[in-house]
Each structure stands twice: as structure tokens, then as C-alpha cells.
Amino acid sequence: MIVGGGPAGISTWLHLQRYAPELAEKTILIEKEYYPRDKLCGGALSGWSDKVFQQLGLDIDVPCVWIDYVECRLGTDADCLHQPRFFRVVRRKDFDQALAKNAIKRGITLRQGETFINFRRKNDALEVKTDQNCYRTKILIGADGSLSNVRKTMQLKHSANLASTIEVFAPTNPRFDPEFNEKKIVFDYTSLKEGLQGYIWHFPCIDNSQAFMNHGIGDFHLDKNQPKANIKEIFREELEKRQIHRPVNTWSGYPIRWLSEGELVSQPNILLVGDASGIDPLLGGGIHLALSYGDLAATAIMDAFKNNDFSFHDYRNRIDDHIVGKYIKKLTYLAGEIYNEKISPLKVIREIFSKK
Ligand SMILES: Cc1cc2nc3c(=O)[nH]c(=O)nc-3n(C[C@H](O)[C@H](O)[C@H](O)COP(=O)(O)OP(=O)(O)OC[C@H]3O[C@@H](n4cnc5c(N)ncnc54)[C@H](O)[C@@H]3O)c2cc1C
């Protein structure tokens, strides 16, 4: 049983369907909302995601802005990388619905509008309670995002790895938002000097065929010995530079969970994937990771049935050995170096994106 129909949950089912269709056929996915449902997100999709779509033979054709330039800023310094169709910026309501439609076409049992409540162990399986049903399952996949209720019910050792974010969508103003016409996304690290352990972003996007900008700020607070930055104040100043004067109560925020070294994200019969497990504390871009967590989880599920071993004691090792874990480890190290001002973000962003 999979809880959550975002990229991690749907991708887990799609990978299972590819590797072991007989298991996918017996799998149910519950999603508490109805598509198209929104999710607060910058919506930047990289070539990594497109590669997963290719491998799965998926067609994800949704409205988007193609991005040819990635610019990293630090005060008056800037470094701009050029590559045609580097990224595309999508709206999550369109993207998640398209992904779910692909799974529906392939036969997923998807119950929208059904909410996971909790589970309890019964013999060698789990009894899962939702707001509508009670299920018995051998394996439960928590793909229910950074505030995962599956994770809460597991009562894992508390980890406070939740980054704060704020995001505002505003119609494009060509005078102040040149990025839309330039097909450019911006990562601005200037506020490191104000204690921000993260960055401000400006992403062009379209919604209902209208040109918008997605402005946001993320603070990972990786080094907990440092005081927390005042992200509301930093963000307000940034918006004002672009002539955006919006009351704070119109801003949106949703946490990003990052995965720390050695943190366990499984229990017997249960695996966490995507944001429920955690992503990196440098860029906080998790759509591609959510998609690849699907591959990890599907393989672990298959092996559990093959070996009749549902302990998932090796899940963390599997993550560490997979591209998901390697990427998170590398970016966590680089994030520490940037936030402690040992290395320039300009150099790091160039290194990450020139390796695609
Ligand atoms: C402000 C912000 C900007 C971001 N920008 C980017 C970006 O530009 N690019 C990028 O790659 N990543 C970005 N991310 C990260 C990205 O949004 C996540 O990594 C990604 O959505 C994780 O996918 P997921 O499937 O794990 O979780 P989610 O997308 O959160 O999906 C979880 C699903 O579970 C459902 N659910 C929750 N609780 C229950 C329940 N109890 N029962 C049933 N269903 C439930 C939810 O409705 C949801 O559909 C951003 C995140 C934030 C907060």
C-alpha cells in the first residue's frame, strides 16, 4: 500500500509496475486530495527527471517555461551557465496530474480523497486505518510528503531537519523580472551574510497561459549552532526591490525535509520515500529525487517478497548506494561548506549544473 500520490508515490508504483507487474497489480495508492491538486513548489524540472520519464516510457507533456540559463548570485558577483533547455519550469498541479494519469493508464488502483490516519502491527503485517477503510498490508510506503503522517506514526527518533520556505507567485513585471524573457532561473546566495543557510530564487513560470514569476526563499539551517536568519525580513526586502508589496498573510510556506547521515527511514514492513524520507539541504529540489526514490523502493519491495524478509534493515544502505543517497551526501557536504563560507556558492552551482 502506498500513501501519497505526489511524484514519490506515483513513481514507486510505476517502477513496481515495470519491474514486477504482479506486485503492482496488488498495490493500492491512496491520495488525500483530488487531482489536479496543488503543491507549493518552484516546479523546476531537470534533465534527471526527464531521464526517469524516458526509462519508464512516460509522456509528461504539460505547459512549461523552458530555461536556457542558470544564474548564481553572491552580492555583486554572478555566474551564468548556458545550456539550451537546461530545465523546464512546470506548475505542480499540471505535472502531478499528468504523472498520475500515466499510472492510471497503466492500471493503478488509485483512491483519491482518502486519507491515511495510522497503522498498527498485527502479527507479521500491518493494519492501516484511513478515514474510509481499514486495510491489511504486508508493506506500507510512506510517500506523504515532508509532514508525513506515516513517519509520525512510526515514531522515528525525532529529527528536526525541516527547512523553512516562503513562496510568492506574482505576474511578471518586465521592468523588474527580466528572467522571464531571458529564460533564466536565479539562485541568489547574497543573504548568506545575513545568516541565511539557503538562498532566494526567481523562477519564470506560466499559469493559465499567463506569465508569472515564482519568487521564494529557503532556509535549511543545517548548522544548528548558528542563529536562525530572519527569512521574512530578508524576503520582504527582496520582494520590494521588485516592487512587490504584498502583506505577509498572502505569502505561502511549506517545509522541505532533508535527510541527515545515518538517519533511518524504514521499519519492518515500512519504507519512507521522497520528502517523507528527506532530500538535500543545498538546493532542496526534490522532484527528481522523489522520482528516483521510486526506483529504490520498488527494488526493495521486490527483494522483500523474493526473500520473504520484510525487515527492510538494509534500506538505509540501499539509499546510500543509490544515486539518490550519493547525490544527497555530496550536496550535504557542499551545503556545509557554503553555509560556513568555506567555498563560494558560485563555484558549487557551476560544478553541480555543469555535471547536469
Ligand atoms: C517552496 C518549495 C519550492 C520547491 N521547489 C522545487 C523545485 O523547483 N524543484 C524541485 O525539484 N523540487 C522543489 N521542491 C521540493 C519538491 O516540492 C518536493 O521534493 C517533492 O514534491 C517531493 O515529492 P513527494 O511525492 O515526496 O511529496 P509531495 O509532493 O509532498 O506529495 C505528497 C502527497 O501525499 C499526499 N498526502 C499527504 N498526507 C496524506 C495522508 N495522510 N493520506 C493520503 N495522502 C496524503 C499529499 O496530498 C501529496 O499529494 C520545493 C519545495 C518547496 C516547499
Decide if 8 is inside a domain: yes
Residues 6+ apart with CB under 8 A from 23: 16, 301, 302, 305
Please write the tens of the pLDDT for every residue from 196-253: 999 999 999 999 899 999 999 999 999 989 999 999 999 999 999 999 999 999 999 9
- The pTM assigned to this predicted structure is 0.97
**Sorting pLDDT into bands at 50, 70 and 90, what band is 160?**
confident
* Domain CATH for 115: 3.50.50.60
CA of 6 to the centre of ligand 1 (A): 6
Give the model's pLDDT for residue 312.
Answer: 98
* Domain ranges, residue 133: 2-42+92-160+258-340
In sequence order, which ranges of 186-262 are alpha helices (DSSP H)? 231-241
Decide if 9 is inside a domain: yes
94 pocket-lining for ligand 1 (C-beta < 6 Å): no
CA of 168 to the centre of ligand 1 (A): 17
Decide if 321 is inside a domain: yes
149 pocket-lining for ligand 1 (C-beta < 6 Å): yes
**Does residue 57 come out as left (phi exceeding 0), alpha (psi in the -120 to 50 range) or beta?**
left
SS3 state at 176: coil
Residues 6+ apart with CB under 8 A from 319: 259, 265, 277, 296, 325, 328
| Strand (E) or helix (H) holding 319 | helix 315-321
Decide if 199 is inside a domain: no
Nearest CA to ligand 1 atom 8: 42
**Sorting pLDDT into bands at 50, 70 and 90, what band is 159?**
confident
Count of structural domains, the chain: 1
Please write the tens of the pLDDT for every residue from 8-62: 999 999 999 999 999 999 999 999 999 999 999 999 999 999 999 999 999 899 9
Q: Which amino acid is at 203?
A: F
d(CA 318, CA 19): 17
Give the closest residue to 335 by CA, choosing from 161, 186, 181: 161
Ligand 1 nearest atom to the CA of residue 276, by list position:
26
Question: Angle CA(39)–CA(218)–CA(162) in degrees, nearest 5?
Answer: 75
CA of 39 to the centre of ligand 1 (A): 6
295 pocket-lining for ligand 1 (C-beta < 6 Å): no
Longest dimension (CA), the chain: 64
**Sorting pLDDT into bands at 50, 70 and 90, what band is 157?**
confident
d(CA 288, CA 327): 11
Decide if 154 is inside a domain: yes
Decide if 172 is inside a domain: no
Decide if 121 is inside a domain: yes
| Strand (E) or helix (H) holding 162 | strand 162-171
Residues 332-340: what's their mean pLDDT?
96
Give the model's pLDDT for residue 356.
Answer: 56
- DSSP secondary structure letters along 38-100: ------EEEHHHHHHHHHHT------EEEEEEEEEEETTEEEEEEEEEEEEEE-HHHHHHHHH
43 pocket-lining for ligand 1 (C-beta < 6 Å): yes
Phi first, then psi, for residue 141 (nearest 5°) are: -105, 120
CA of 37 to the centre of ligand 1 (A): 11
Q: Does position 158 have pLDDT exceeding 80, yes or no?
A: no
198 pocket-lining for ligand 1 (C-beta < 6 Å): no
Mutate to test the pocket of ligand 1, among 89, 287, 352, 353 (most ligand atoms within 8 A of CB): 287
**Does residue 231 come out as left (phi exceeding 0), alpha (psi in the -120 to 50 range) or beta?**
alpha
Decide if 133 is inside a domain: yes
